[in-house]
Amino acid sequence: MLENLEKRIKRQVHGKLHRFTAVVPLGFEATLVKELRQIGIIAENDAFETVDGKVSFSAKITDAWKAVAHSRIANRVLMDFASFKAESFRELEKKADEIPWELYLPQDAPLQIHVTCKHSKLYHSDAVAERFYDVIKGGSLPLVRTASLSTPSAGTPRNTPQHLYITLLNDRCTVSLDLAGEELYKRGHQRYVNDAPLKETIAAAMLFEAFEQVQSPITLIDPMAGSGTFSLEAAYMANGLIPGKCRDFALKHQPAFKEASWNYLVNSEFGVQNSELRTIITSDISERAVKIIRHNVECSPLAKIEPTPIAPQQKDFFGYTSEEIAKLRGESQTVIVLNPPYGKRLDANAPKLYADIGKKLSEFKDCVVTILAPKGACTENLLKNCAALGLSGTKLIKTSHGGISLNCFVGKFF
């Protein structure tokens, strides 16, 4: 029986191309496509489809594993493994019962089902989730009145559940398996944060876009470092560290998992390395922030690298001068990254802060600046006081973070 299951997994899971969807911070879909190609993801016909916050492609399952292990920009990677028409619950149950669940779902793992219904006769997400539970677990699980229903986790070695995503769109039901588990922005090591920290995936995407604008060698200046997210991500890139190498992912507990294949992906291959990044200047006006950054470096794989790539200093962004930046970069080109306070992180007048930041940035020359700014008065004041960010050569990426709509600018100050 086990041998038969292994043969079916080899034929139906490993032996076929599948449709995968990588979930990405809004606005950075094209950035993720560039990263996936750089990683070496072999998509069918090299075709990647983008829609708001998602990048879809067809490939072998090991390519999706590689995306989970190596991508710094994706938040999740989902695998579509069933799709059918369903206009009634009877039809839904019949089709769901035909899915060979044993090929995809781990045995005795906590299960969490997420249902989205749009433009379909079946519109009650809880009822749809209940039907899938009845089919998968024989109706023996306690049901909760929510679109995300969970099974008890007793007896499982995993800390996080297996996520299953059910999408009903125009009466077509698509069933997707989450390969990651915890979101990929969590890098797998202890990290202290300041208030409302920037997600690592957005930071990595911003760095990716900024580094494309300059030639080697590169000096990165992170003058409002906060928890050090930009600096940490940049240091990982510079040293080719694979973000998912030491993490426990959902895919490792799924029936199709092959340890030898996984070990090859994370041990026999190096992560994408930005060897052009030579120097990282990290600073923040807050003494507490500097202590947090030091702790985060010590708890990360970067602690084993000598000399340390990140040595945070207590310094006010507004204290930097164009002459000082020129001295810091030497013969290299400069990238300045900024995620100024906004929302809950800022008690003062936010539009005035962004006006002051714009004035300061306008002093700098011969660099690339990437900055996040809330839409509205903050963005308006930033652009009003920093003409370079309003020029045609500036790249504008509309994104969001923590429920706040943001503009990401990537501008050349030459």
Domain harbouring 339, CATH code = 3.40.50.150
Of 72, 21, 78, give the one whose Cα is nearest residue 48. Answer: 21
Question: How many domains are contained in the chain?
Answer: 2
pLDDT of residue 112: 94
Tell me the backbone φ, ψ of residue 181, rounded to 5 degrees.
95, -110
Q: What is the mean pLDDT of the segment spanning 331-341?
A: 93
Q: Rounded CA gap, 220 and 332, in Å?
A: 10
Determine, yes or no, domain membership for 187: no
User: Do residues 127 and 219 share a domain?
Assistant: no
User: Do residues 6 and 143 share a domain?
Assistant: yes
Number of H helices, E strands in the chain: 12, 15
Banded model confidence at residue 276, pLDDT cuts 50, 70, 90 = confident
User: Do residues 46 and 156 share a domain?
Assistant: yes
pLDDT of residue 196: 67
User: Do residues 48 and 148 share a domain?
Assistant: yes
User: Do residues 281 and 230 share a domain?
Assistant: yes
pLDDT of residue 117: 97
Do the Cβ atoms of 74 and 24 come closer than 8 Å? Answer: yes
Determine, yes or no, domain membership for 381: yes
Q: Across all residues in the chain, what is the average pLDDT?
A: 89
Q: What is the pLDDT of residues 350-396, one digit of tens each?
A: 899 999 999 999 999 899 999 999 999 999 999 999 998 988 889 99
Task: Find the domain containing 321 and state its range.
Answer: 200-241+264-413
Tell me what percent of the residues of the chain surpass a pLDDT of 90: 76
pLDDT of residue 347: 59
Q: Rounded CA gap, 89 and 98, in Å?
A: 14
Tokens linked to 239: 């040293």
With a CB cutoff of 8 Å and minimum separation 6, the contacts of 1 are none
User: Do residues 204 and 349 share a domain?
Assistant: yes
Determine, yes or no, domain membership for 71: yes
Domain harbouring 135, CATH code = 3.30.2130.30
User: Do residues 174 and 205 share a domain?
Assistant: no
User: Do residues 213 and 358 share a domain?
Assistant: yes
User: Do residues 13 and 149 share a domain?
Assistant: yes
Domain boundary among 126, 148, 178: 178
Tokens linked to 147: 């679109």
Determine, yes or no, domain membership for 248: no
Banded model confidence at residue 148, pLDDT cuts 50, 70, 90 = very low
Q: Rounded CA gap, 142 and 152, in Å?
A: 9
Q: Rounded CA gap, 96 and 134, in Å?
A: 10
Determine, yes or no, domain membership for 190: no
Q: What is the pLDDT of residues 286-328, one digit of tens each?
A: 999 999 999 999 999 898 898 889 999 999 999 999 999 999 8
Tell me the backbone φ, ψ of residue 72, rounded to 5 degrees.
-100, -10
Tell me what percent of the residues of the chain surpass a pLDDT of 70: 91
pLDDT of residue 161: 85
pLDDT of residue 156: 35
pLDDT above 80: residue 132: yes
